[in-house]
Amino acid sequence: MRADVITATGELQASLRAALTSDMLITDADEMLRFCRDWHGDVSSSAVAVLRPRSTEDVAAAVCTCRDLGLSIVPQGGNTGLVLGGIPDQPGSQVIVSLERMNAIRNIDPDDFSAVVEAGCILSEVKDAVAKMDMFFPLALGAQGSCRIGGNVSTNAGGINVLRYGMTRELVLGLEVVLPDGTIFNGLSTLRKDNRGIDLKQIFIGAEGTLGIVTAVSIKLMPFPDQVATALLGLNSLDDAITLYRRARRDCCDLMSAFEFMPPLGFVLAREAIPDLPMPIAGDYPAYVLMEVSGSGLVDIQELMERFLGGVMEDGLVVDGVIAASQTQARNLWLIREGMNEGQARRGPHMRTDISVPLSRLADFVRDAEQAVSEALPDCISVSYGHVGDGNVHLNVLPPGGTAPEEAAARIYTAKCVVNRVLDGYSGSISAEHGIGRLKRADFEQRLEPSRRALLTALKQAIDPSLMMNPGCQLNFPKLS
Amino acid sequence: MRADVITATGELQASLRAALTSDMLITDADEMLRFCRDWHGDVSSSAVAVLRPRSTEDVAAAVCTCRDLGLSIVPQGGNTGLVLGGIPDQPGSQVIVSLERMNAIRNIDPDDFSAVVEAGCILSEVKDAVAKMDMFFPLALGAQGSCRIGGNVSTNAGGINVLRYGMTRELVLGLEVVLPDGTIFNGLSTLRKDNRGIDLKQIFIGAEGTLGIVTAVSIKLMPFPDQVATALLGLNSLDDAITLYRRARRDCCDLMSAFEFMPPLGFVLAREAIPDLPMPIAGDYPAYVLMEVSGSGLVDIQELMERFLGGVMEDGLVVDGVIAASQTQARNLWLIREGMNEGQARRGPHMRTDISVPLSRLADFVRDAEQAVSEALPDCISVSYGHVGDGNVHLNVLPPGGTAPEEAAARIYTAKCVVNRVLDGYSGSISAEHGIGRLKRADFEQRLEPSRRALLTALKQAIDPSLMMNPGCQLNFPKLS
């Protein structure tokens, strides 16, 4: 870093120190590192400072101080995002506001099927706390032991239970947000139905901190599903998997909670990550489905799963299948799904996507995109898996083992362009659940319709006219003259 | 009307006629009447004209023409709203844009569990069309034979199935909207998951046409629930009804689709409206619940309802109950709920509310509010009923029979003030599902927090700076200088 930049940063840090309680402030580069490096470890950055408020009022004070100093703010939860939405890209003028110390569960009301939690609560801790009261918060994703609920809201996180319970948006009853002018938007209601005009909380969900800082959330709870049936199924094709999904929606009514598609390569990758992982199905099928049906109360979930599988196997839609006989067996089935992710990471840098298309076009899309990749990059391998029920597929591309980093980077870039080109013909989304952040900003902007861009710009300028909230994330906005 | 107003209106009508296809335009006062009178028949107004576009382009042209003439627009669907959101209040400068001729079902894709319908489609026609493909659109409300889907979206309509399927918001996948500047926002995607930044469609849902005109909607479909079990239950109190709801959520998992609370007076009112209505439960219980469990496929819904009722009757939570043995019997049970509404209307003008409170405080609220009403208005009768599972109660107050209109109006006003005062102590909502419109604007504004008002104003000025879209609805905004 140049000497004048260091001086400027030092002066800004001194000003922050003078204005805020020192307990809130981190300026040491080593201490800041974990906040400035992304989840995959692909990107490291830095910041003027990291602020760790303990209360909503602290956040408001931090916002006002930053505004006075001309600093912009990158809000951060558990820093588990996959699109660099919480990582500074202008280190000389950006401050990270980490919500990790605002981690109180303010209230759980099982009689009201609701809870109020602070933005810094770790997702799995919220899930555990409500489970003790026999309640359930259905948001479930790989990072749940590290991600924080404010980040889940700001990225409108998805995960494996979306097909039954919806994205984070559908689980939010209310929000508390510190706005760019330092005022506090208090919308922490737990009302299930409240139709008093425009629902303002919606604009902050999925905004990735570009309109304000989410400090607390009212969430919906459900009765804890004490019955879970998990099955791993072998099928003849992705087309059959989609047909199976449609039939499962009807046959299992609304009780299906997960339906994940995996290719045979998934097992190979999972074994690479977890060598002693038991493989519960013999044989090698072109397609696999990991399916979960769950519920509380009087419906016999195990029997429902057995009857469903009996029918679809008789009809030849499912060739082979196993239902977990214990929680351990169910856990092992999910380990295949998780190990598959880790196995990809072990093969080195690779191209990851997070795509959605209409369900009725999913199989065609995967076929076309994999074909296009194999033509453009004959030495790379495609691996497509994901939340089929939501039309959400992670079509990833792995360069061959031992590819030099710069060659891998070139292949990753080519693969992304090839896949996105096919996707554009399917009216699909380049971000089904991960958000835009900084990683997908260019691809997002490139596909943005003028009317949508105009509305987003108007909204940004109305709420954050000085463009201080997470600049560089989602869109580059023009400064108001 | 004064002569100069008549002339001005005549000139405006002539200008509209010159600019738009004459087929779109209604200016005859008699022909305009049905668009200018509200659903209850309480309010009649007029307008410069009624425009009935046949296409999205027609709507855009209408918006541009009105803007050029300095006219504002009151968008209207089926004109079944309960809060005067679609009725002009400045007849000399407002034009009604009725969507009733934009009523094409553009596409139904059962393989994708989605459909695209124009804003003017009547709700029941959409439900019927998808049912022919064995699919289900769950929005269900009293006005479904007349209301139109664009109005449902613009008011974020609720109804009897919200506890399972959510408000209209949760059933919308995408929107097409004509914006106040005449541009078309094309967001008619059917993707289930699309996390590309801020979800702009959310700001138009529930905006009651104050930010633009919804012209088409992509909606979620579900498998048709071919099994429905309906029961009418007699209980000892509203508290027991709430306990029963909590237990039903757990025992019946996510398969409960309606849970309506009714007081004994409901039966009297229903009989006044439908004298030969069969009364399926003998005796007179302090509280009644109309409950529905439904589903498709392999779960035996009838058996689930029987087992559930067996358990709760054994525990004394339900004193008496009947499960409909046929569709006709089920229909008759619902007729009690519907007749209760009609019976109130027959008793003359009365105070209607649409309140929500946290479920855990619902019974206390109803007790306190009814007590306060009986103290303030000892000759009036309170009747509280509604969608208990959503914390949504319609606490209505009926003046005694034969009360003179102006005395009734005074009692209605008093009753509203008394109930709202109690509600304010419960952090409740004055509009759980009906919206704000013009009827509740004053009560809404009076309770509006400054940070919320500031955000709503910023949003309005960003999207509709000339304040031409449905002025007077929801909020009176300050003109930009």
On whether any CB of chain A is under 8 Å from the CB of B278, the answer is: no
Residue A199 to residues A149, B205, B430, B456, Cα–Cα distance (Å) = 20, 8, 15, 10
What type of residue is B207?
A: A
Q: What is the pLDDT of residues A370-408, one digit of tens each?
A: 999 999 999 999 999 999 888 999 999 999 988 999 999
Q: How far is B285 from chain A (nearest CA, A)?
A: 24
- The yes-or-no verdict on residue B2 having pLDDT over 70 is no
Yes or no, beta carbons of B299 and A253 under 8 Å apart: yes
Give the span between the Cα atoms of B401 and B22, in whole angstroms. Answer: 48
Query: Counting Cβ atoms within 10 Å, is residue B214 exposed (0-12), middle (13-18) or buried (19+)?
Result: buried
Q: To 10 degrees, the CA torsion angle through B85, B86, B91, B93?
A: 90
Contacts B202 to A, Cβ<8 Å: 199, 202-203, 205
Among the listed residues B439, B433, B356, B426, the one whose alpha carbon sits nearest the alpha carbon of residue B395: B356
Yes or no, beta carbons of B356 and A194 under 8 Å apart: yes
Secondary element (H or E) of residue B310: helix B301-314
On whether any CB of chain A is under 8 Å from the CB of B212, the answer is: no
Taking CA–CA distances from B301, the nearest residue in chain A reads A299
Give the span between the Cα atoms of B286 and B40, in whole angstroms. Answer: 30
Chain A residues 131-150 within an 8 A CB cutoff of chain B: none
Q: How many helices and strands (H and E) does chain A possess?
A: 15, 18
- The yes-or-no verdict on residue B200 having pLDDT over 90 is yes
Yes or no, beta carbons of B196 and A430 under 8 Å apart: yes
On whether any CB of chain B is under 8 Å from the CB of A208, the answer is: yes
Contacts B222 to A, Cβ<8 Å: 249, 254
Chain A residues 106-135 within an 8 A CB cutoff of chain B: 109, 111-114
Q: What is the pLDDT of residue A478?
A: 83
- The yes-or-no verdict on residue B5 having pLDDT over 70 is no
Yes or no, beta carbons of A249 and B387 under 8 Å apart: no
Taking CA–CA distances from A429, the nearest residue in chain B reads B194
Yes or no, beta carbons of A195 and B202 under 8 Å apart: no
What mean pLDDT value characterizes chain B?
95
User: Per-residue DSSP letters for A406-448?
Assistant: HHHHHHHHHHHHHHHHHHHTTT-BS-SSS--TTTTHHHHHHT-
Yes or no, beta carbons of B202 and A203 under 8 Å apart: yes
Yes or no, beta carbons of A192 and B459 under 8 Å apart: no
Yes or no, beta carbons of B193 and A158 under 8 Å apart: yes
Q: Determine which of A196, A249, A446 to mutate to test the interface with B (most B C-beta atoms within 10 Å).
A: A196
- Helix, coil or strand: residue A97: strand
Yes or no, beta carbons of B193 and A427 under 8 Å apart: no
Yes or no, beta carbons of B308 and A299 under 8 Å apart: no
Nearest to A459 among B163, B198, B210 (CB): B198
- Helix, coil or strand: residue B130: helix
Yes or no, beta carbons of A199 and B205 under 8 Å apart: yes
First to last CA, chain A: 31
Yes or no, beta carbons of A431 and B194 under 8 Å apart: yes
On whether any CB of chain B is under 8 Å from the CB of A202, the answer is: yes
Q: What is the pLDDT of residue A26?
A: 97
Q: What is the pLDDT of residues B462-481, one digit of tens each?
A: 999 999 999 999 999 987 65
Contacts B249 to A, Cβ<8 Å: 113, 222-223
Secondary element (H or E) of residue B321: strand B320-323
Nearest to B429 among A196, A200, A295 (CB): A196
Confidence of residue B388 (pLDDT cuts 50, 70, 90): confident
Contacts A155 to B, Cβ<8 Å: 195
* Residue A104 C-alpha from the chain's centroid: 22
Among the listed residues A84, A82, A85, A17, the one whose alpha carbon sits nearest the alpha carbon of residue A48: A17
Count of pairs with CB atoms under 8 A, one residue in A, one in B: 291
Contacts A451 to B, Cβ<8 Å: 179, 183-186
Nearest to B196 among A194, A436, A458 (CB): A436
* Domains of chain B: residue spans and CATH: 3-98 (3.30.43.10), 105-223 (3.30.465.10), 227-346 (3.30.70.2190), 355-424 (3.30.70.2740)
What type of residue is A100?
A: E
Yes or no, beta carbons of B251 and A297 under 8 Å apart: yes
Taking CA–CA distances from B473, the nearest residue in chain A reads A197
By residue count, chain A amounts to: 481
Q: What is the pLDDT of residues B420-467, one digit of tens each?
A: 999 999 999 999 999 999 999 999 999 999 999 999 999 999 999 999
On whether any CB of chain B is under 8 Å from the CB of A226, the answer is: no
Residue B463 phi/psi, 5-degree rounding, is -105, -35
Yes or no, beta carbons of B475 and A449 under 8 Å apart: no
Cβ-proximal residues to A202 (8 Å cutoff; 6+ apart), any chain: A169, B199, B202, B203, B205
- Helix, coil or strand: residue A46: coil
If one counts every other C-beta atom within 10 angstroms of the C-beta of residue A478, the result is 10
- The yes-or-no verdict on residue B110 having pLDDT over 90 is yes
Q: What is the pLDDT of residue A60?
A: 98
Yes or no, beta carbons of B191 and A432 under 8 Å apart: yes
Q: Are A177 and A185 in contact (CB under 8 A)?
A: yes
On whether any CB of chain B is under 8 Å from the CB of A461, the answer is: yes
Contacts B159 to A, Cβ<8 Å: none
Q: What is the pLDDT of residue A6?
A: 66
- Ramachandran region, residue B279 (left: φ > 0; alpha: ψ -120 to 50; beta: rest): beta
Q: What is the pLDDT of residues B24-62, one digit of tens each?
A: 999 999 999 999 999 888 889 999 999 999 999 999 999
Contacts B298 to A, Cβ<8 Å: 251-253, 304, 307-308, 311
Low-confidence ranges of chain A (pLDDT < 70): 1-6, 480-481
Taking CA–CA distances from B162, the nearest residue in chain A reads A193
Tokens of A217: 């959330």
